[in-house]
Chains A and B, each alone.
Chain A
Amino acid sequence: MTRSVAITGIGIVTALARGVEENWAALTAGRSGIRRIARFSTEGLKVTFGGAVDHMGLDQLPVTGRCLAMGRAVAEEALTQAGLAGSAFDGPLVLGLPPIELEWPQRRDLARRAAQPDYAGILAVADAGPESAAHLDFLFGTVGERLAAAFGTAGPPITLSTACATGASAIQTAVEAIRRGDCDRVLVIGSEGSLQVEALIRFGLLQALSTHNEDPAGAVRPFALDRDGFVMAEGAAALVLERPDAAAARGARTLAYVRGCGEAADTFHRTRSNPDGSAIVRAMADAIADAGLAPDAIDYVNAHGTGTPENDKMECLAIQRVFGERAARLPVSSNKSMIGHTLSAAGAIEAAFSVLTMERRLLPPTINYHHPDPAIPLDVVPNVARPAAVRTVLSNSFGFGGQNVSLVLGLDPA
């Protein structure tokens, strides 16, 4: 039996649009979804733009509400494509989500009701009951609980958070469960709705964000000489993963396969990769080996490509170490140049875009690439989409805390 796992449905929401077709059209037209933030006041902030999903009426919701709504939308789309909509899903839910916290509007309301505006005062007036939104909207388990109920998934939902690798970790965790025979299919959802004021400020304080406030659409410049950081963004993707024979038995069309997964933790630093790139090299090489392939079989790299000076340099180094002299000719592009960094959803969204890249034979570009960095001699598919027959893709996701996951996706099961 093949170790590959079939993908039979995908769903996508990003700042560009809701829906697979709408997203693919925008992405391959080289459109940017990055714009000024209208959701909250950005007065006095270092960064005033992002890739908010502001087209679904979710702006007044807490992070959990946005993650839930986007998660539902993409799961419905993926299940419909897979031919599994409308009945209970016969398998578990693996969910990738950002950390959840009580937010400022709620803290502020509590403080106004309290005898004194400190935690002791707030605690004295906090009890709104175990079924209240004030409680459930800020429990970590709530999004999983509601998505599991909405789609009738089996058993406890698994919710993962591995920083910017979360979506890929969710796919990998599902692939492992199918491979070891624990289940025939898994619904994987990565959903990110964290664009709220404190999160934006925190990433800004880490000097990780682009500050091109004057030109939001041109701000994310992966692999370019003038890149200055990533752009916080929201979005979600769902993938229906199935054992290939189980998918075939029910007559489902397989879009592509997850062929291999590689993961390596970096022990070097909390926000930086080891300067020798060893952990991300190991993640990429392990994914290719897990797929039973040699590096030569990879036709295209869907890069992590955040647009930070550090990531893009390290990712280039690792690509050179894995692919040798072929690195200069291998197309490598960054979806994030258009959708921004969707953080906990990025691995899932970019895996879904990788499926489309193979299916539609079209490489999405890296936009905002006007000043090549001589230290990064890669073919980044600059600015314009390019037709190409791609059968196998390597998709990278690297995160704070040394979380590194690479996936190999392919049109062929083996």
Chain B
Amino acid sequence: MSPGGEREVWITGVGLVTALGEGRAAHRAALADPAALAAARDGETFRPFLVHPVRALALDRFMPRRADQRTTGPWMHYGIHAAGLALEEAGVLGDAALLTRTHVLAAAAGGERDTALDEEILAGIVAGEDPDRRLNARLTEGLRPTAFLAQLSNMFAGNLSIVLGAAGSSRTFMGEEAAGVEALRVGWRRAAAGQGELFLVAASYNASRPDMLLLHQTGGRLLQGPWRDLWSRPAGGICLGSMGAALVLESADHARARGARPVARLASITHGWSDRRPGAAAAAARWPLADDRPAFVVSGASGAGPVTAEEKEYLAARGPAIAVRGTAAAIGHGVEASFPANVALAAWCAEGRAGFPPLSDDPIEAPAAGPLDRVVVTGWGPRRGEGMAVLEPVPEAAR
């Protein structure tokens, strides 16, 4: 458990790109439209697996240089675009003086492989060619030198510096869901303690990659069609979702001094590391609210059966005052990007003091009582790592 922040920390910019589109208005509209939610799923491309893909992005908006577009793949595009949106909203985009001291905390998976080359090499090996010679020759001839730069995990953060100009410190967190929790938590703690004033927390995930599906399916983690309600899936219950999420964190004093408007207050982040025997995650979780007034809960439940069921039971035990939304039903599970993406959605809910309609018929997703004055975000990884955040609206008088 982290100690509370010494200084108030605001989110002054939010960027989100998912299967539902980009930005506030697109997400608010799609989250209330069952037809849009259904249309955002793709059960064909990787049948029998379902993914929630990001549709075409207007890349030129934040990445006008063709050289930048060529040396990055979709994985980086989603996160760079989201970061552009967040920096723009915070009034930091293009401001060299602010960008020089903007600290980057990124949560990243592995970057994009040349899967066509992988398949060509494997076909040769299976056809009986000398495996070592074939591999060495084909990798040497076939790999594009610059592809490595789209593949290194830290190059996502590197490109946030190169493309957008954020040039303070740069830390890339790895390790599935916990990476997203820790990137945000460390940024929040540094902002609260005065170890910097401006932080860009960014994460990205590309689900439309067979190599990414393979990483999770070696553990049998993925849902095989047809679509099923998030809260009642088997152990292999994850539908991956592409997404880019970015949050600008800032001390309230710094934001006030430069006239930046808060989207929401980041009140707390707690984290845990239970051993995941049945019941352990729920036993380790410390509900971050002190009273039982109404709260809206943006859950990052992945859909992986046992731990999703454990989270549902834990949340149901909080009583009738909370309204839960399992957002993986709408945007898929974004692994490293899941927690930051759900904090982005929660920040918008706190800002508007309003949630969004249930995404499931499960009783855990009750209609929300409004207006909201706090939003809880959960992120329990299918294997390890638990996180919870609390977001609150910033009253007009405090701005």
Within the complex, the shortest CB–CB distance from A76 to chain B, in Å, comes to 21
Partner of B122, one of A108, A157, A400, A402: A108
- Contacting residues, chain A, for B153 (C-beta < 8 A): 99, 161
Whether B123 contacts A118 by the Cβ 8 Å rule is yes
Distance in angstroms between the alpha carbons of A151 and B214 in the assembled complex:
31
Whether B236 contacts A127 by the Cβ 8 Å rule is yes
Q: Which residue of A lies closest to B274 (CB)?
A: A156
Q: Which of A239-247, A268-276, A314-322, A345-353 participates in binding chain B? A: A268-276
Whether A128 contacts B143 by the Cβ 8 Å rule is no
Q: Does A248 contact B (CB under 8 A)?
A: no
- Contacting residues, chain B, for A412 (C-beta < 8 A): none
Distance in angstroms between the alpha carbons of A270 and B68 in the assembled complex:
10
Partner of B383, one of A139, A160, A162, A173: A139
Whether A130 contacts B220 by the Cβ 8 Å rule is yes
Q: Does B178 contact A (CB under 8 A)?
A: yes
Distance in angstroms between the alpha carbons of A288 and B171 in the assembled complex:
20
Q: Which of A201-209, A224-232, A305-313 participates in binding chain B? A: A201-209
Q: Which of B20-28, B32-40, B79-87, B112-120 participates in binding chain A? A: B112-120
Q: A41-B136, A155-B273, A205-B148 are in contact. Are A161 and B154 (CB under 8 A)?
A: yes
Partner of B132, one of A41, A159, A180, A198: A41
Within the complex, the shortest CB–CB distance from A26 to chain B, in Å, comes to 30
- Contacting residues, chain B, for A117 (C-beta < 8 A): 119, 122-123, 125-126
Within the complex, the shortest CB–CB distance from A291 to chain B, in Å, comes to 15
Within the complex, the shortest CB–CB distance from A261 to chain B, in Å, comes to 9
Q: A120-B210, A266-B161, A402-B162 are in contact. Are A173 and B171 (CB under 8 A)?
A: yes
Q: Which residue of B lies closest to A205 (CB)?
A: B145
Taking CB atoms and an 8 Å cut-off, the chain B residues in 131-162 that contact chain A are 131-133, 135-137, 139-140, 143-145, 147-149, 151-155, 157-159, 161-162
- Contacting residues, chain B, for A108 (C-beta < 8 A): 122, 125, 131
- Contacting residues, chain B, for A179 (C-beta < 8 A): 195
Partner of B154, one of A141, A163, A180: A163
Q: A122-B214, A140-B179 are in contact. Are A180 and B161 (CB under 8 A)?
A: no
Q: A108-B122, A198-B139 are in contact. Are A130 and B178 (CB under 8 A)?
A: no
Q: Does A42 contact B (CB under 8 A)?
A: yes
Distance in angstroms between the alpha carbons of A157 and B195 in the assembled complex:
21
Distance in angstroms between the alpha carbons of A176 and B190 in the assembled complex:
8
Within the complex, the shortest CB–CB distance from B164 to chain A, in Å, comes to 9
- Contacting residues, chain A, for B49 (C-beta < 8 A): 123
Within the complex, the shortest CB–CB distance from B92 to chain A, in Å, comes to 14
Q: Which of A11-19, A43-51, A292-300, A376-384 participates in binding chain B? A: A43-51
Q: A107-B122, A119-B119, A162-B172 are in contact. Are A265 and B219 (CB under 8 A)?
A: no
Whether B125 contacts A119 by the Cβ 8 Å rule is no
Q: A129-B220, A401-B152 are in contact. Are A157 and B136 (CB under 8 A)?
A: no
Within the complex, the shortest CB–CB distance from B389 to chain A, in Å, comes to 14
Whether A101 contacts B110 by the Cβ 8 Å rule is yes
Taking CB atoms and an 8 Å cut-off, the chain B residues in 334-391 that contact chain A are 381, 383-385
Whether A400 contacts B158 by the Cβ 8 Å rule is yes
Q: Hey, what's the 0/1 contact readout for A157-171 against B, CB within 8 Å counting as 1?
A: 111111100100100
Taking CB atoms and an 8 Å cut-off, the chain A residues in 124-182 that contact chain B are 126-130, 132, 134-136, 138-141, 144-145, 148, 155-163, 166, 169, 172-173, 176-177, 179-182
Q: Does B328 contact A (CB under 8 A)?
A: no
Q: Does A102 contact B (CB under 8 A)?
A: yes
Whether B145 contacts A206 by the Cβ 8 Å rule is yes
Within the complex, the shortest CB–CB distance from A38 to chain B, in Å, comes to 13
Q: Does A77 contact B (CB under 8 A)?
A: no
Within the complex, the shortest CB–CB distance from A296 to chain B, in Å, comes to 26
Whether B137 contacts A44 by the Cβ 8 Å rule is yes
Q: Does A362 contact B (CB under 8 A)?
A: no
Distance in angstroms between the alpha carbons of A155 and B271 in the assembled complex:
7
Within the complex, the shortest CB–CB distance from A162 to chain B, in Å, comes to 5
Whether B152 contacts A102 by the Cβ 8 Å rule is no
Q: A99-B152, A102-B211, A265-B161 are in contact. Are A127 and B218 (CB under 8 A)?
A: yes
Q: Does A2 contact B (CB under 8 A)?
A: no
Taking CB atoms and an 8 Å cut-off, the chain B residues in 23-76 that contact chain A are 46, 49, 71
Q: A123-B210, A402-B158 are in contact. Are A141 and B384 (CB under 8 A)?
A: yes
Q: A108-B122, A202-B143 are in contact. Are A102 and B214 (CB under 8 A)?
A: yes
Distance in angstroms between the alpha carbons of A139 and B109 in the assembled complex:
9
Partner of A156, one of B122, B235, B385: B385
- Contacting residues, chain B, for A181 (C-beta < 8 A): 3, 193
Q: Which residue of A lies closest to B124 (CB)?
A: A117
Partner of A111, one of B122, B132, B133, B218: B122
Q: Which of B115, B133, B219, B221 has the most CB of A within 10 A?
A: B219
Partner of A180, one of B109, B167, B193: B193
Partner of B171, one of A99, A162, A267: A162
- Contacting residues, chain A, for B46 (C-beta < 8 A): 120, 123
Q: Hey, what's the 0/1 contact readout for A29-56 against B, CB within 8 Å counting as 1?
A: 0000000000011111110000000000
Q: Which residue of B lies closest to A122 (CB)?
A: B214
Whether B149 contacts A270 by the Cβ 8 Å rule is yes
Whether A197 contacts B139 by the Cβ 8 Å rule is yes
Q: Does B232 contact A (CB under 8 A)?
A: no
Whether A44 contacts B140 by the Cβ 8 Å rule is yes
Distance in angstroms between the alpha carbons of A274 and B123 in the assembled complex:
43
Q: Which of A45, A46, A134, A402 has the most CB of B within 10 A?
A: A402
Q: Does B316 contact A (CB under 8 A)?
A: no
Q: Which residue of B lies closest to A263 (CB)?
A: B169
- Contacting residues, chain B, for A173 (C-beta < 8 A): 171, 186
Distance in angstroms between the alpha carbons of A204 and B271 in the assembled complex:
40
Partner of B176, one of A141, A182, A400: A141
Taking CB atoms and an 8 Å cut-off, the chain A residues in 222-260 that contact chain B are none
Distance in angstroms between the alpha carbons of A176 and B169 in the assembled complex:
12
Partner of B219, one of A41, A127, A270: A127
Distance in angstroms between the alpha carbons of A176 and B193 in the assembled complex:
10
Q: Which residue of B lies closest to A154 (CB)?
A: B273
- Contacting residues, chain A, for B170 (C-beta < 8 A): 162, 263, 265, 401-403
Whether A265 contacts B133 by the Cβ 8 Å rule is no
Q: A127-B219, A267-B161, A271-B149 are in contact. Are A156 and B113 (CB under 8 A)?
A: no
Give B residues with C-beta under 8 Å from A: 1-3, 46, 49, 71, 104, 108-111, 113, 115, 118-119, 122-123, 125-126, 131-133, 135-137, 139-140, 143-145, 147-149, 151-155, 157-159, 161-162, 165-176, 178-179, 181-182, 186, 189-190, 193, 195, 210-211, 213-215, 217-221, 235-236, 271-273, 381, 383-385
Give A residues with C-beta under 8 Å from B: 40-46, 97, 99-102, 104, 107-108, 111-112, 117-120, 122-123, 126-130, 132, 134-136, 138-141, 144-145, 148, 155-163, 166, 169, 172-173, 176-177, 179-182, 197-198, 201-207, 263-271, 279, 399-403
Beyond A99-B151, A129-B219, A156-B272, list 12 extra A-B contacts (CB 8 Å): A40-B132, A99-B174, A120-B210, A127-B236, A130-B221, A139-B383, A144-B175, A172-B169, A180-B195, A263-B169, A267-B162, A267-B165
8 tightest A-B CB contacts, nearest first: A401-B158, A135-B219, A119-B210, A141-B175, A180-B193, A127-B220, A41-B132, A111-B122
